[in-house]
Structure 1
Amino acid sequence: MAALFRDGVTTLSECLGAPAGQYEQLAEDLHRKDARIFELHFALLTHVRTSFITPLPREDLYQISRALVDAFGHLDGAAEFMALNEVKRLSARASEQLEIIGQMSDLTVGAMRRLGSLEDLDEYCMEILQSAKRAERTHRSWIAEDIRGLKPATYSMHRDVAEQLVAAARDLRRASNQVGQILVKES
């Protein structure tokens, strides 16, 4: 699921650089990936419910999976807002925000591979927390710049995209928080 999320970040990056006429196609690609990540979430639910022994507590696996599903939903939402409103010329902060989310997703992919051993996951939690703080600062700067420089209708469309991106970062932080709880419980 984390790898699919990373793929979604790449698709949304393409959307930021594409002409408005390609938004709909890229948004459809994200919709398909969103459906796939939900299928993986459901498969995980089925697996942990039917398994006698799981490597980690079922509730923790569910919470991590749910955070990834929610985060992807926000990527999908950002692309959909762009396509529906034909949003043009987003602030450079959009690329900066997506870069932060990309770094967070790379960290998450690596962490999910190490969940079985729980090695070096405390570093992952700290790096995600730092990145999430950076994402919040970027979001505030983006909103402040746009509110001063855009007409109200344009600002509203841009803000909708910005809100979706910061929500994705928050959900990745939530997945990391769940990993941190596992570390505390298992130590």
Structure 2
Amino acid sequence: MGFRLTPQDTSFFSLFATSAGLLVEATRELTRFLEVDSSQWGQVAERMRALEHEADEATHAVIKKVNSSFITPFDREDIHALAANLDDCMDHIEETADLIVLYGIDELPFAIAEQFQILSRMAELTAEVMPRLRGLKDLPSYWIEINRLENQADKLYRKMLAELFNHSNPDAVHIIKMKGIIDGFEEAADSFEKVAHTIEGIAVKES
């Protein structure tokens, strides 16, 4: 990374760490769909809404900081992109969790447990990489692993879709509902990969 003569505002890194930490909480909360009775899923969705609200506040804080700071740690457009992509991860997770309750789903596909594990690991890696943004060091292993996990999520997504559509007694309404759930979690995985791509772009630009 090039030498800078001007001081940098490091509070951006704390805000990014906050956003990523909330994603870890959200993905851990997802597993409660598998641990509690479906009658309690509304409570899980409610907790997700609270986390999404906190994530929105963190995103707004980043945007406000960008607009009020003369010096930023890297390009403003990259800070905006990173904040927006982190927010997208939370939005997809919260929205899909809410749909589970709104659609009146009482049983999830068996393979969804593996999808939750993938999302949880993606969130953990994203949280772990945030402190390393300060020096932009030791980052390639992060985006390589995120890409591997996203490929794994893609394969699982296709498998769940195939099982859904190949059911011996298909119900059209059930298929539509479950496809919405499966799609939503796949979009969450895609968003984690977009975060990784953004960080990779920052590392290349600042090197």
Using the size of structure 2 for normalisation, the TM-score is 0.87
Equivalent position of 2:200 in the other structure? 180
Residue aligned with 2:73, SS:
coil
Residue 64 of structure 1 is matched in structure 2 by: 82
Task: Show structure 1 runs of 4+ deviating over 6 A.
Answer: none
Query: What amino acid maps onto 2:105 in structure 1?
Result: V
Deviation for aligned residue 1:58: 1.6
- Is 1:159 the counterpart of 2:179? The answer is yes
Are the counterparts in 1 of residues 33 and 44 from structure 2 also a CA contact under 8 Å? Answer: yes
Give the whole-Å Cα distance in 1 for the aligned partners of 2:34 and 2:187: 17
What does residue 125 of structure 2 align with?
107
Give the match for residue 53 of structure 1: 71
TM-score (norm 1): 0.96
Moved more, 145-154 or 46-55: 145-154
Q: Percent identity?
A: 27
For residues 93-104 of structure 1, what are the structure 2 equivalents within 5 Å? Answer: 93-104=111-122
Which range moved further: 9-18 or 119-128? Answer: 9-18
Counterpart selection for 2:138 from 98, 109, 120: 120
How is 1:5-16 mapped onto 2 (pairs within 5 angstroms)?
5-16=23-34
Q: CA deviation at 1:54?
A: 1.4
Deviation at 1:151? Answer: 2.4
Q: Aligned partners of 1:4 and 1:83: how far apart in 2?
A: 21
Q: Please say if 1:146 is aligned against 2:164.
A: yes
State whether residues 4 and 33 of structure 1, in contact with CA within 8 Å, keep that contact through their aligned partners in structure 2. Answer: yes
How many residue pairs get aligned? The number is 187
Give CA-to-partner distance per residue, 1:156-178, whole Å, 9 cap, x none. 22111111100000001001000
Q: 2:108 aligns with which of 90, 109, 118?
A: 90
Deviation at 1:81, TM superposition (A): 0.9
Q: Contact conserved, 1:20 with 1:86, CA < 8 A, in 2? A: no
Partner of 2:56 in structure 1?
Answer: 38
Q: Which amino acid aligns with 2:162?
A: A
Unaligned runs of 5+ in 1: none
CA displacement at 1:22 relative to structure 2: 1.0
| Structure 1 residue identity aligned to 2:138 | D
Distance in 2 between the 1:122 and 1:138 partners?
A: 25
**Is the Cα–Cα contact under 8 Å of residues 38 and 107 in structure 2 kept in the other structure?**
no
More helix, by proportion: 1
Larger-gyration structure (1/2): 2
Which 5+ residue runs of structure 2 have no aligned equivalent? 1-18
Deviations 1:26-83, CA, capped at 9 Å, x for gaps: 1111111111100100001111211111112221111111111111111111111111
1:27 to 22, 30, 45: 45
Deviation at 1:24, TM superposition (A): 1.3
Distance (whole Å) between structure 2 residues aligned to residue 17 and residue 81 of structure 1 = 18
**1:130 maps to which residue?**
148
Partner of 1:170: 190
SS in 1 for 2:128: helix
